[in-house]
């Protein structure tokens, strides 16, 4: 039975712009407008805007909200004050990654979590199951729209002042009240604008009128892959752990949180395999699921619009994880050479 | 820039969105505007080796865009006598000029009569209209 796809408040705007719409995590989303490559380059050289209203927003509030989240999220929320944000993981008992997300500290006892669309329900369920007296968890996703405005000129085009990464503030942009989050998923400067769903069209039109290029999920994926940001469901999953994924820096192993004990052990013993970034040495495009000789597997792969070669990430045995190690990838039966590189694969000018 | 949608009258078409330009006992093969547009900008062409045999209705290579991989189906059988190196080096040539500079391979036909079974431009457009 066909499942009805959800639509963001900007659906009709995307269709009017000639976007190619595709199903993604239960939503009908624009994968591209003009094309993945020109959109990717717009973000690397100027500014692009992505409708990411499919992402989930969960609010956690109450006198014990901080305590609840400290016990469930891997990073240390004591390190951030109201007005600051933090990249963190929701972990299970075996140290696996239920989701990766950004926690925004709205107040001493009030957090907003922006989570992956595909994990919104799992995250909400997990938080509800672990809720304690004095903490209230609410799914407020449907109230909001989220626009990611990214690129070296994004902030200037929006008429905003520069601000530190992982901070946020309220601002009125083109008459719309927004929460301006200095976060993103492209490796470029920029921000993510959270507004009420009913204001989304006005904000979108205003941002486009400022000369920002509409960009689809296709470019979002190639941008994040060049920047080596993991994609949950591909590179990190409930079966993979943060240490093997190179996300040990998001885990405050000196505090107690779900799975911390397992993660301490993996860290002490050293992970058996590691998530590495690689660049193809031969003409070929790696894809998710391809085998890497020696027991590894590609978890994300595509063509780099900036480097114009195949790039990817994947898990390899720890002995193959050092930069410059040569890998052989099975590209539909043909062995193709790749080389492990330091992350990120491509670093923006800004 | 991507080309505008066209299906030239002098070509023969295969319903898997491939074309052939028959020239005596040889033919030049490529993919149609529809196929190139559906894939998006091409970033890789995996060609067959020169001398390889290609078989009508079977895959002889792959084209890839950022998001997708697609087999390229041979509209006619024969032996590969040339691969378009320009497309190997700059696959987006196919989007820019699918029936000209963006040809993929040239073959020596095994059986020129096979071409009689292919679609003309009008019949191929009908296939597209029914999709």
B66–A37 C-beta distance less than 8 A: yes
| A222 in contact with chain B, both atoms CB, cutoff 8 A | yes
- Is the CB of residue A55 less than 8 Å from the CB of residue A114? yes
Q: What is the pLDDT of residues A222-249, one digit of tens each?
A: 999 999 999 999 999 999 999 999 999 9
Q: Is A287 on the interface with B (CB under 8 A)?
A: yes
Structure tokens at A283: 């003409």
Chain A: closest CA distance from residue B2 (Å): 10
Whether chain B has a CB inside 8 Å of the CB on A305: the answer is yes
Query: What's the CA gap between A305 and A222, in Å, rounded?
Result: 8
Q: With an 8 Å Cβ cutoff, are A303 and B43 in contact?
A: yes
pLDDT of amino acid A349:
61
Q: Which residue bears the tokens 């480097």?
A: A307
Could you tell me if A304 lies within 8 Å of chain B, comparing CB atoms? no
What is the number of alpha carbons within 13 Å of residue A315 lying toward its C-beta? 18
Q: Which of B3, B43, B52 to mutate to test the interface with A (most CBs of A within 10 A)?
A: B43
Query: How many residue pairs bridge chain A and chain B with CB atoms within 8 Å of each other?
Result: 39
Q: Any idea what the CATH number is for the domain that residue B90 is in?
A: 2.40.50.100
- Phi, psi for residue A11 in degrees, rounded to 5: -50, -50
Q: Which residues of B touch A334 (CB under 8 A)?
A: 46
- Per the domain annotation, does B88 fall within a domain? yes
CB of A300 less than 8 A from some CB of B: no
Contact A216, A51 (CB under 8 A): no
Q: What is the pTM of this model?
A: 0.95
Residue A2: per-residue pLDDT: 57
Asked if A140 and A195 touch (Cβ cutoff 8 Å), the reply is no
Number of structural domains (chain B) is 1
Cβ(A192)–Cβ(A57) below 8 Å:
no
Q: Decide if A21 touches B, using CB distance below 8 A.
A: no
Q: Give me the pLDDT at residue A1, please.
A: 45
- Nearest CB neighbour to B67, from listed A218, A308, A332: A218
Structure confidence by residue, pLDDT tens digits, B8-44? 999 999 999 999 999 999 999 999 999 999 999 999 9
CA distances from A288 to A238, A297, A313, B93 (A): 17, 8, 9, 26
**CB contact, 8 Å: A302 with chain B?**
yes
Task: Compare all CA atoms of chain B with the CA of A334 and give the residue at the minimum distance.
Answer: B46
Domains of chain A by start residue, with CATH = 11-54+143-226 (3.30.1360.120), 273-341 (2.40.30.110)
Q: What is the mean pLDDT of each run of 10 residues along chain A (350 residues)?
A: 84 98 96 97 98 98 98 98 98 97 98 98 98 97 98 98 98 98 97 98 98 98 98 98 98 98 98 98 98 98 97 98 98 97 85
The answer, for A310 touching chain B at a CB cutoff of 8 Å, is: yes
Partners of B64 on chain A (C-beta within 8 Å) are 285, 303
CA distance A155 to A282: 38
| A222/B66 Cβ within 8 A | yes
Convert the pLDDT of each residue in B59-73 to its tens digit: 999 999 999 999 999
A332 to B62: CB separation less than 8 angstroms, yes or no: yes
B66: in domain: yes
Interface test with A, best of B3, B52, B67, B83 (most A CBs within 10 A): B67
Residue B3 lies in a domain: no
B62–A31 C-beta distance less than 8 A: no
In a 13 Å sphere around the CA of A71, the CA atoms on its Cβ side amount to: 12
User: In the prediction, which pLDDT does B2 show?
Assistant: 83
Reply yes or no: is the peptide bond before residue A4 cis, omega within 30 of 0: no
Note whether residue B35 is domain-resident.
yes
| Contacts for A125 with CB less than 8 Å, ≥ 6 apart | none
Contacts for A101 with CB less than 8 Å, ≥ 6 apart: A87, A88, A89, A90, A113, A114, A115, A116, A123
The 8-class DSSP code of residue A198 comes to G
Assigned domain for B131 exists: no
- Cα separation, A152 vs A211, whole angstroms: 13
Which of A218, A222, A287 is nearest residue B69 as measured by Cβ atoms? A287
Q: What is the pLDDT of residues A93-114, one digit of tens each?
A: 999 999 999 999 999 999 999 9
A283 closest CB neighbour out of B40, B44, B65: B44
Q: Which two tokens stand for residue A173?
A: 């942009």
Residues in chain A: 350
Q: Are A86 and A166 in contact (CB under 8 A)?
A: yes
Is the CB of residue A242 less than 8 Å from the CB of residue A89? Answer: yes
CA distance A217 to chain B (A): 10
pLDDT tens for A199-227 read 999 999 999 999 999 999 999 999 999 99
Average pLDDT, rounded, for chain A: 97
Handedness of CA A129, A135, A140, A141 (dihedral sign): negative
Give the residue numbers spanning the domain of B98.
12-124
How confident is the model at residue A3, as a pLDDT? 67
pLDDT of A334 reads 96
Residue of A nearest to B65 (CA): A303
């Amino acid at each position: 039975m066909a499942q009805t796809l959800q639509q963001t408040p900007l659906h009709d705007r995307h269709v009017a712009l000639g976007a190619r719409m595709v199903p993604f995590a239960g939503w009908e989303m624009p994968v591209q407008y003009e094309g993945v490559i020109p959109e990717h380059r717009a973000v690397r050289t100027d500014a692009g805007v992505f409708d990411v209203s499919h992402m989930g927003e969960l609010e956690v509030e109450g006198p014990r909200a901080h305590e609840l989240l400290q016990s469930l999220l891997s990073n240390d929320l004591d390190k951030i004050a109201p007005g600051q944000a933090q990249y963190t993981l929701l972990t299970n008992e075996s140290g696996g990654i239920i989701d990766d997300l950004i926690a925004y500290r709205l107040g001493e006892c009030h957090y907003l979590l922006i989570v992956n669309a595909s994990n919104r329900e799992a995250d909400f369920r997990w938080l509800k199951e672990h809720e304690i007296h004095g903490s209230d968890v609410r799914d407020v996703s449907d109230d909001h729209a989220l626009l990611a405005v990214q690129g070296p000129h994004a902030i200037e085009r929006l008429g905003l002042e520069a601000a530190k990464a992982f901070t946020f503030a309220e601002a009125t942009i083109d008459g719309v009240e927004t929460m301006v989050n200095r976060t993103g998923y492209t490796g470029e400067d920029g921000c993510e604008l959270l507004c009420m769903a009913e204001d989304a069209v006005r904000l979108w039109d205003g941002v486009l009128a400022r000369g920002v290029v509409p960009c689809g999920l296709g470019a979002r994926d190639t941008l994040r892959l060049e920047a080596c940001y993991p994609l949950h469901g591909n590179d990190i999953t409930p079966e993979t752990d943060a240490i093997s994924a190179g996300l040990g820096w998001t885990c405050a192993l000196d505090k107690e949180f779900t799975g911390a004990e397992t993660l301490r052990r993996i860290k002490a013993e050293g992970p058996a395999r590691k998530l590495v970034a690689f660049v193809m040495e031969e003409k070929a495009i790696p894809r998710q699921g391809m085998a890497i000789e020696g027991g590894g597997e590609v978890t994300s792969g595509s063509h780099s619009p900036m480097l114009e070669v195949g790039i990817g990430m994947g898990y390899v045995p720890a002995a193959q994880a050092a930069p410059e190690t040569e890998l052989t990838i099975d590209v539909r039966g043909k062995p193709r050479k790749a080389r492990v590189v330091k992350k990120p694969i491509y670093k923006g000018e800004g | 820039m991507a080309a505008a949608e066209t299906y030239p009258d002098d070509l023969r078409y295969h319903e898997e969105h491939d074309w052939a330009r028959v020239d005596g006992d040889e033919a030049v093969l490529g993919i149609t505007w529809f196929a190139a547009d559906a894939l998006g900008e091409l970033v890789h062409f995996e060609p067959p080796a020169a001398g390889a045999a290609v078989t009508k209705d079977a895959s002889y290579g792959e084209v890839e865009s950022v998001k997708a991989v697609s087999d390229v189906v041979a509209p006619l059988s024969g032996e590969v006598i040339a691969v378009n190196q320009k497309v190997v080096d700059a696959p987006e040539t196919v989007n820019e000029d699918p029936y000209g500079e963006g040809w993929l391979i040239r073959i020596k036909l095994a059986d020129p009569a096979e071409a009689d079974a292919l679609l003309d431009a009008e019949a191929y457009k009908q296939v597209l209209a029914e999709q």
